[in-house]
């Protein structure tokens, strides 16, 4: 298993204090503008007052800080335990504007609160949607994030004050991008950590030379202060406008959850030197923290938030995945909420600088999405889902698909490429699931005494599919070794746990899915580490089972959720051992 040498500090390591603070502040600097801009767009387009805008920006910054810290620290079952930046969600712009127009901030707040409860439910039952919210769906959504946001970045690099030549914007954006890319490609590993902030600083210096950096805004802003606005309240009338907009808010919440799932899977891929199986307990925690952020946003009457995929790109670019960085980002955002002067320094950075570096980050993000799509291999079915969903997302994003019809549907919901493409990917994946071959099920106690029932069940399953005795023996052997491995982890359990075995045919293979109570170790990781001298020592009897399992099954995937383990084994009809279990 190849290591990821680009990771300098893993999630549970402690980088130097200066580096931690510096990187945390630069991530906050990169995203604070987007947080404020989203609130401003929703507020002004929805006809809200400037007093509300002041309150909304303050509340959004504070909530983003709190939830970013929770994502890093993982409080109970809330939070991923990784550096996942939280910020205002662009997916909610259209529906929030509609809510403001129809009922003002109180109606928007009520809709956000109700939809956030759906997100909490989703986090606790995420394992039930595992066949729909797959890495293919999540990776497609992440790629479409770049498609959705990249036009904004392109607009930003050409945005200069009236009277300034366009060439000025070109020079500023080019300096920002060239410095950032040059350092990332050719500098030493230590200097590479500072590529983002150096690129932005270089662009800002050039902006100041041309007189574009807004120093007047910085000078006029107070150092410390509270918002002039007040809490907008909540609308509990539940009138026609509420019921008319609730379905749209629920769907956008689901799309946001898919984005969060993709981000929480992707951040795990770039946070460890040695690739690990995805920990879906961390994914559940990320979705729960997202729900908490939306609940707080509704209670305080501001725009909902979600995970920002730029934190993944920054982590891969810098190689620093330490959780402490996420805590610093959260603390920085909370401080920003109370320090208008600091916020003004960030907002004074001209758009060509922000747009130039955003292009670099979105380019990395697109590649991360591609990696997520192909992580478990890709066949023509998965390829068709990705291809169709991606280009439908591109079409809707660019108003190329029946714009006169789409603009009036659910407040223009499908005009967002990420929403349209993500929904397409989920529908196509659901169709494949509903039309897949029949699944056969057996439920039993999680104990070695269940082995005879497993043997009889799998022999009958092999006979129904016309497979020979050799294939039947491999199915039985693979399931037995998995059951024995799980049973050893339950030896000290005070209550008897149950196990569900699901078997179905998939082209030239049999797929066995074992759903059981949660254990501590991940079998997929343990199989990968067999023979690795640096791995934690595995008991001899378990190592024998793992080696046999690797021999009988062509692939092993272990998904760990809270209170549930799901182990998927793939056994080829004409089995040739490859040792692939990733």
pLDDT tens, 539-574?
A: 444 455 566 666 777 777 777 777 677 888 888 876
Q: What is the mean pLDDT of residues 250-278?
A: 80
Q: Which residue has the higher pLDDT, 21 or 51?
A: 21
Q: Which residue has the higher pLDDT, 137 or 387?
A: 387
Q: Which residue has the higher pLDDT, 337 or 368?
A: 337
| pLDDT of res. 578 | 40
| pLDDT of res. 539 | 43
Least confident of 110-119, 188-197, 336-345, 426-435: 188-197
pLDDT at 189 over 70: no
pLDDT in tens, 517-537: 655 555 445 444 444 444 344
Q: What is the mean pLDDT of residues 321-329?
A: 89
Confidence band for 408, pLDDT divided at 50, 70 and 90:
low
Q: Which residue has the higher pLDDT, 437 or 432?
A: 432
pLDDT at 436 over 90: no
- Which one of 9-13, 250-254, 330-334 scores highest in mean pLDDT? 330-334
Confidence band for 139, pLDDT divided at 50, 70 and 90:
confident
Least confident of 233-242, 334-343, 484-493: 484-493
Q: Of all helices (H) and strands (E), which one includes residue 503?
A: strand 498-506
Structure tokens given for 233:
């309240």
pLDDT at 208 over 90: no
| pLDDT of res. 494 | 52
| Residue 573, number of CB atoms within 10 A of its CB | 17
pLDDT at 50 over 60: yes
pLDDT at 91 over 60: yes
pLDDT more than 90, % of the chain:
9
Confidence band for 467, pLDDT divided at 50, 70 and 90:
confident
Q: What angle do CA 230, 30, 393 make, to 5 degrees?
A: 90
Among 504, 495, 492, residue whose Cα is nearest residue 569: 504
Confidence band for 331, pLDDT divided at 50, 70 and 90:
very high
Among 435, 351, 424, residue whose Cα is nearest residue 173: 351
Q: Which residues pair with 502 in a beta bridge?
A: 441, 513
Q: Residue 256 in contact with residue 103, Cβ under 8 Å? A: no
Q: Of all helices (H) and strands (E), which one includes residue 504?
A: strand 498-506
| pLDDT of res. 509 | 84
| pLDDT of res. 391 | 92
Maximum Cα–Cα distance across the chain: 82
d(CA 11, CA 272): 7
| pLDDT of res. 513 | 83
3-state secondary structure 128-164: HHCCCCCHHHHHHHHHHHHHHHHHHHHHHHCCCCCCC
Strand duo 555-561 + 305-307: pairing? unpaired
pLDDT more than 70, % of the chain:
83
| Residue 229, number of CB atoms within 10 A of its CB | 20
pLDDT at 113 over 90: yes
Mean pLDDT for the chain overall: 78
| pLDDT of res. 410 | 54
The rounded Cα 85 to chain-centroid distance in angstroms is 10
pTM: 0.65
Domains in the chain (CATH in brackets) are 17-433 (no CATH), 440-572 (3.30.565.10)
pLDDT in tens, 282-313: 888 999 999 999 999 999 989 898 888 777 87
């Amino acid at each position: 298993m190849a290591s990821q040498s680009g990771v300098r500090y893993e999630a549970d390591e402690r980088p130097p204090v200066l580096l931690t603070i510096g990187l945390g502040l630069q991530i906050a600097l990169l995203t604070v503008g987007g947080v404020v801009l989203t609130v401003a767009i929703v507020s002004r387009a929805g006809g809200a007052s400037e007093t509300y805008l002041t309150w909304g920006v303050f509340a959004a910054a504070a909530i983003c800080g709190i939830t970013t810290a929770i994502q890093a620290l993982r409080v109970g079952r809330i939070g991923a335990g990784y550096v996942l930046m939280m910020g205002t969600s662009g997916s909610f712009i259209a529906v929030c504007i509609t809510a403001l127009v129809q009922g003002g901030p109180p109606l928007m707040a009520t809709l956000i609160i109700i939809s956030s409860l759906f997100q909490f439910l989703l986090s606790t039952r995420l394992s039930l949607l595992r066949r729909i919210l797959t890495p293919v769906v999540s990776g497609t959504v992440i790629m479409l994030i770049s498609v959705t946001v990249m036009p904004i970045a392109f607009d930003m690099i050409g945005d200069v004050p009236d009277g300034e030549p366009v060439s000025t914007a070109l020079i500023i954006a080019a300096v920002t991008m060239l410095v950032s890319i040059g350092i990332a490609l050719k500098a030493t590993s230590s200097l590479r950590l500072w590529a983002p902030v150096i690129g932005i600083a270089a662009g800002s210096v050039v902006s100041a030379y041309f007189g574009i950096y807004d120093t007047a805004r910085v000078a006029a802003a107070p150092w410390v202060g509270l918002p002039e606005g007040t809490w907008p309240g909540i609308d509990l009338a539940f009138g026609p406008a509420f019921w008319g907009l609730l379905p749209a808010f629920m769907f956008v919440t689901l799309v946001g959850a898919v984005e969060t799932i993709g981000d929480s899977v992707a951040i795990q891929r770039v946070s460890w030197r040695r690739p690990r199986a995805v920990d879906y307990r961390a994914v559940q925690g990320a979705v729960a923290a997202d729900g908490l952020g939306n609940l707080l946003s509704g209670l305080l009457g501001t725009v909902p938030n979600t995970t920002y995929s730029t934190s993944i790109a920054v982590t891969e670019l810098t190689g620093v995945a330490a959780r402490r960085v996420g805590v610093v980002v959260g603390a920085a955002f909370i401080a920003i909420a109370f320090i208008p002067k600091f916020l003004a320094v960030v907002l004074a950075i001209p758009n060509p600088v922000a747009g130039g570096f955003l292009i670099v980050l979105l380019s990395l993000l697109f590649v991360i999405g591609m990696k997520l799509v192909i992580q478990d291999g890709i066949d023509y079915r998965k390829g068709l889902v990705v291809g169709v969903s991606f280009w439908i997302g591109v079409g809707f994003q660019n108003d190329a698909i029946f714009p006169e019809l789409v603009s009036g549907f659910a407040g223009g919901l499908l005009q967002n490429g990420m929403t349209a493409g993500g929904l397409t990917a989920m529908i196509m994946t659901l169709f494949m699931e509903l039309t897949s071959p029949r699944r056969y099920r057996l439920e039993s106690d999680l104990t070695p005494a269940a082995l005879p029932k497993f043997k009889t069940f799998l022999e009958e399953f092999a006979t129904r599919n016309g497979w020979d005795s050799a294939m039947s023996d491999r199915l039985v052997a693979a399931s037995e070794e998995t059951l024995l491995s799980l049973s050893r982890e339950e030896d000290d359990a005070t209550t008897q746990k149950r196990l569900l075995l699901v078997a179905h045919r998939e082209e030239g293979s049999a797929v066995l899915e074992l759903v059981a109570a949660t254990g501590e170790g991940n079998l997929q990781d343990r199989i990968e580490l067999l023979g690795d001298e640096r791995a934690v020592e595995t008991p001899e009897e378990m190592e024998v089972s793992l080696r046999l399992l690797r021999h009988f099954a062509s692939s092993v995937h272990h998904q760990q959720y809270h209170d549930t383990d799901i182990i998927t084994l793939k056994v080829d009809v004409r089995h040739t051992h490859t040792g692939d279990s990733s």
